[in-house]
Amino acid sequence: MHLRFIAVLIVLLLAAVACAEEGGGGEGAAECPPDDEFGCVTVAEGEPIRLATLLVISTADAPLGQDSQNGVTLAVNDHGEVLGHEVELMHEDEQCSAEGGTTGARRIAAEEGIVAVIGTSCSSAGEPASQILSEQGIVLMSPSNTAPSLTDPETRQDFYFRTAHNDNIQGAAMAQFAAEELGVERAATIHDGSPYAEQLQQVFAETFQSEYGGEITTQEAVGPEDTDFRPVLTSIAAGDPEFIYYPIFIAAGGHITAQARETSGLEEADLAGADGMFSPDFIEAAGPQNAEGMYLSGPDLDFRGDFYRDEFLPAYEEEFGSQPTAAFHAHAYDATQMILTAIEEAALQGDDGSLVIPRTALRDALEGMQHDGIVGQLECDENGDCNQEATISVSQVQDGDFSRVWP
Amino acid sequence: MATSSATTESAEPPASPPPGDAGGPQLGLADRIPLRRIIRWGLAVALVLGIASGAYQTLAAGVFSPAQWRDLVVFGIAQGSIYALIALGYTLVYGILFMINFAHGEVFMAGGFTAFFAARAMDQAGFLNQQPVLAVLILLAIAMAVSTTVAVTLERVAYRPLRNAPRLIPLITAIGASLFLQYSFRGLYGEDIHSYPRIDALTGTWTIAGIPILRTQAIVIVAALALMVGLYFFISRTTMGRSMRAVAEDREIASLMGIDVNRVIVTTFAIGGMLAGAAGILYALVFRQVHFLMGFLPGIKAFTAAVIGGIGSIIGAAVGGLLLGLLEAVAPFLLLSGAGIPAPNQLKDVIAFSILVIVLIMRPGGLFGSREPEKL
């Protein structure tokens, strides 16, 4: 009785499988290459291609992620349909933390049919997110992660790419600016324990010492949610630095900027930060009088062509009702365009209007892809760095606004 | 340390006999008391040795000048006075209701954040720099009014209906109220970080007794001291203060003696709210940044301070706050930098919470706690 029931079940199952195979082969949907380790995403006719963003859209760092998310939306609008399919976006929040990155990446990995992800904003979220998504064979392309470890051959995850510069470039640029332009010989650094800040200040410190013969007086660390930085600034003042570099985020960076001006021994020191604070919100958080004269490094916004000035910015303002609030909207735009182009290259079209997108093939299409983007000529190397020619510029806060001073 | 932990492992089994063993409890109790004492003494000796060697190494290395040590102490006292003002709110409410008002950090935020908009308006009108004293008093009045309103409303809406409920329920309600307030203020004022305008009269330093002190910090220290002395006299000299002490001692007997318990409880929340509002402005003078989550960490630290001092004790809250602020500022550098630990400042929260653990081991009731602490 029992055995007979199971036997009938097996026969029925076999029949069902046979039917399915027959239907798949005959009706014209493309076949997923069997050697693709991570399988394929199948998009039926009339269904949208689904992408996700994983950016920081809450907490105090929201201006950074919201700005990139706007860039993604513009790119999807501009690109239009991909092989006859619309593109649909799902937005997740990475909260600029490892926990947020983990939760967001898990949620995306659990979702059916996400082809690729644009994110993360913060390197701290990028580390776990790239691991979780790479295990599922989902491409993750970041507009603003800059920590060197993410594309270091030893630690890079297979499906991770970025259009942001590598901080090996940014840290060295700031060291050069400090030593050659400002004539600094003694510098101190502060980081907040995030991979971004820790690695960036380390690159700065190493370059500053080895290339320019400078002295690093202190390398301190703070918590991202601290408010009282006077003790740590006093300990830095003990080393008598001429230059303090703290490439951290808006909240803590604002406090340090305000409190450094009141710490005896640091009144004359030059203050400098990096792209994590390159936002009008930082000037507001620090107080315009305190931020005055401070140096901030970031991606060079000047080399972009006419498209950026004449089409991108007006479209941005029209769509979102404000000026860009951070430095990475264009990187997000380019990343999205590259992913959409890679989908067009890698997808297999069926006769019935359906699409089959093999995950590994999509990754391979991105690797080595050349793209003439807003931020410059992009080409992804085997470690996932797509913006190797990035140039870094330094701006100074003058009269409550950023003005470019170098190079 | 190593010896004391070894003692624990080997001596623990006989100290906890199986329940129901008739001869066990007496013997176990007799064994346990000396053991606990041994652990405490071992811990104390290890601590003293650790602190002494760390401090000696740092001082011998001569990293910081005396002037810098003095600055660190002043910073610590200023930060500590803000903790103390918030801690008083925790301790007052605990003393009377035996509940921990976890939403108190948000009461602090409400005052400081709301007054920001007044400060900005006064700055744009130029009033802030023409009449700095009057302006700061107005800001204080606004912040104290807002915080008091929030605290009293909180008591009326969230806590009074639960006054006779089991202890755990108001505690959970308080956590809920805390989140509710945080995100209501996010909805009201947005999630941006705002920066208080600078008051020119309060920038720079005053030299007091030969020591240059930042003006804002001098004001914070003096104002906090004045408020705490005022509170002390209010509790010990006025009729209302006597009623509060009576209700703290025994609520039912007090009500039998004709004391309006509800009025006393509302007054307690109002005083706690006023102090938190004042702390909000003092915080804004020193740190100048306001944000809807700004109450969380100071709230936790102030609660720690209240527990260190002995929750329920007013002097304990004041001393605990000052001690915590001072140790946070000085201890990482004094104890760790000489030992060659990189970036010692990062460990300041570790030190703050280690102090809490150590105080609770040495004196479970806190430094000034008279009562044995009850389980929550």
pLDDT tens digit sequence for A110-119? 998 899 999 8
By percentage, how much of chain B surpasses pLDDT 90? Answer: 41
Residue B122 and residue B306 in contact, taking contact as beta carbons nearer than 8 Å: no
Nearest chain A Cα distance for residue B137, angstroms = 22
Contact list in A for residue B289 (CB cut-off 8 A) is: 227, 251, 254-255, 258, 285
Q: In angstroms, rounded to a whole number, what is the distance separating the alpha carbons of residues A286 and A252?
A: 9
B interface with A, Cβ–Cβ below 8 Å: 63-65, 67-68, 71-72, 75-76, 79, 191-198, 203, 212, 214, 287-289, 291, 294, 297-298, 328-330, 332-333, 337, 342-346, 348-349
Contact list in B for residue A250 (CB cut-off 8 A) is: 193
Give the residue ranges of DSSP H helices in chain B: 2-15, 24-61, 66-97, 104-124, 127-130, 132-154, 168-189, 215-237, 239-249, 251-256, 261-287, 296-309, 314-331, 348-362
CB contact under 8 A, A251 and B79: no
pLDDT given for residue A139 in this prediction? 95
Residue of B nearest to A237 (CA): B68
Q: What is the residue extent of each domain of chain A?
A: 42-164+304-390, 168-293
Three-state DSSP class for residue B32: helix
Nearest chain A Cα distance for residue B351, angstroms = 14
CB contact under 8 A, B337 and A235: yes
Output the six-digit token pair for A116: 């690729």
Instruction: State the residue for tokens 């039912």.
Output: B252
Q: Which residues of B207-228 are buried (b: 16+ CB within 10 A; e: fewer)?
A: eeeeeebbbbbbbbbebbeebb
Contact list in A for residue B342 (CB cut-off 8 A) is: 219, 221
Residue A111 and residue A132 in contact, taking contact as beta carbons nearer than 8 Å: no
Whether the predicted pLDDT of B22 surpasses 90:
no
Residue of B nearest to A189 (CA): B343
pLDDT tier at B374, thresholds 50, 70, 90: very low
Query: A168-293 adopts what CATH topology?
Result: Rossmann fold (3.40.50)
CB contact under 8 A, B193 and A230: no
Partner B, chain A 231-290, Cβ-Cβ below 8 Å: 231-232, 234-235, 237-238, 250-251, 254-255, 258-259, 262-265, 281, 284-287, 289-290
Residue of A nearest to B194 (CA): A285
pLDDT digits (tens, 9 = 90+) for B168-203: 899 899 999 999 999 999 889 887 788 888 888 888
Contact list in A for residue B344 (CB cut-off 8 A) is: 235
Output the six-digit token pair for A240: 């008598």
Q: In angstroms, rounded to a whole number, what is the distance separating the alpha carbons of residues A144 and A166?
A: 9
Residue A149 and residue A155 in contact, taking contact as beta carbons nearer than 8 Å: yes
Partner B, chain A 171-230, Cβ-Cβ below 8 Å: 193, 219-223, 225, 227-228, 230
| B89 Cβ neighbours under 8 A, 6+ residues apart | B101, B104, B107, B108, B151, B271, B272, B273, B275, B276, B302
| A243 Cβ neighbours under 8 A, 6+ residues apart | A178, A182, A184, A186, A187, A188, A269, A270, A271, A272
Q: In angstroms, rounded to a whole number, what is the distance separating the alpha carbons of residues B242 and A116?
A: 68
**Looking at the DSSP assignment, which residues form a beta bridge with residue A356?**
A42, A348
Query: Does the N-terminal peptide bond of residue A407 adopt cis geometry, omega within 30 degrees of 0?
Result: yes
Q: In angstroms, rounded to a whole number, what is the distance separating the alpha carbons of residues B7 and A100?
A: 43
**Looking at the DSSP assignment, which residues form a beta bridge with residue B205?**
B214
pLDDT digits (tens, 9 = 90+) for A352-375: 889 999 999 999 999 989 999 888
Looking at every residue in chain B, the average pLDDT score rounds to 84
Nearest chain B Cα distance for residue A230, angstroms = 7
Query: What sign does the dihedral B364-B368-B370-B375 (CA atoms) show?
Result: negative
pLDDT given for residue A30 in this prediction? 80
* Between A12 and B137, residue with greater pLDDT: B137
Output the six-digit token pair for A162: 């970025």
Residue of B nearest to A61 (CA): B192
Nearest chain B Cα distance for residue A239, angstroms = 8
Report the pLDDT averaged over residues B24-52: 74
CB contact under 8 A, A232 and B345: yes
Comparing CA positions, the residue from B106, B295, B108, B115 lying closest to residue B196 is B115
CB contact under 8 A, A227 and B297: yes
- Output the pTM of the full model: 0.77
Cα–Cα distances in angstroms (integers) from residue A121 to residues A65, B82, B190, in the given order:
6, 35, 21
Q: In angstroms, rounded to a whole number, what is the distance separating the alpha carbons of residues B315 and B321?
A: 10
CB contact under 8 A, B75 and A230: yes
CB contact under 8 A, B288 and A258: yes
Output the six-digit token pair for B361: 């081991």
Residue B218 and residue B208 in contact, taking contact as beta carbons nearer than 8 Å: yes
Chosen for mutation from B81, B189, B195, B198 (greatest number of chain A CBs closer than 10 Å) is B195
Contact list in A for residue B72 (CB cut-off 8 A) is: 231, 234
Contact list in B for residue A287 (CB cut-off 8 A) is: 195-198, 288
Report the pLDDT averaged over residues B51-78: 85
Output the six-digit token pair for B270: 């109002």
Cα–Cα distances in angstroms (integers) from residue B116 to residues A261, A388, B201, in the given order:
22, 45, 18
pLDDT given for residue B11 in this prediction? 41
Cα-Cα-Cα-Cα torsion B239, B241, B243, B244, nearest 10 degrees, comes to 170
- Residues in chain A predicted with pLDDT less than 50, given as ranges, are 19, 21-26
CB contact under 8 A, A219 and B191: no
* Between B288 and A172, residue with greater pLDDT: A172
HSE, CB side, 13 Å, CA atoms: give it for residue B136: 21
Comparing CA positions, the residue from A296, A260, A293 lying closest to residue A174 is A296
Query: What sign does the dihedral A253-A256-A259-A265 (CA atoms) show?
Result: negative
**Phi/psi at B202 (nearest 5 deg)?**
-105, 5
CB contact under 8 A, B195 and A225: no
Top CATH class of B68-362 equals mainly alpha
Considering only CB atoms, B345 lies closest to which of A58, A221, A250, namely: A221
Residue of B nearest to A256 (CA): B287
Could you name the CATH architecture of A42-164+304-390?
3-Layer(aba) Sandwich (3.40)
Whether the predicted pLDDT of B311 surpasses 50:
yes
**Phi/psi at B166 (nearest 5 deg)?**
-55, 150
Nearest chain B Cα distance for residue A166, angstroms = 25
pLDDT given for residue A296 in this prediction? 93
DSSP A236-299: HHTT--SEEE----HHHHHHHHHHHTTSTT-TT-EEEE-GGG-SHHHHHHH-HHHHTT-EEEEE
Output the six-digit token pair for B58: 């740092």
Q: In angstroms, rounded to a whole number, what is the distance separating the alpha carbons of residues A94 and A164?
A: 17
Considering only CB atoms, A237 lies closest to which of B68, B193, B195, namely: B68
DSSP A68-129: HHHHHHHHHHHH--BTTB-EEEEEEE-TTSHHHHHHHHHHHHHSTTEEEEEE-SSHHHHHHH
* Between A25 and B60, residue with greater pLDDT: B60
* Between B230 and A300, residue with greater pLDDT: B230
Identify the weakest region by mean pLDDT among A196-200, B32-36, B69-73: B32-36
H/E run at residue A19: helix A2-27
Determine contact: A293 vs chain B, CB below 8 A.
no
Residue of B nearest to A218 (CA): B343
Contact pairs from chain A to chain B, CB under 8 Å? 102
A168-293 and A42-164+304-390 share a CATH fold: yes
Considering only CB atoms, A62 lies closest to which of B71, B191, B342, namely: B191
Three-state DSSP class for residue A333: helix
CB contact under 8 A, B71 and A285: no
Residue A116 and residue A126 in contact, taking contact as beta carbons nearer than 8 Å: no
Whether the predicted pLDDT of B354 surpasses 70:
yes
Determine contact: A60 vs chain B, CB below 8 A.
yes
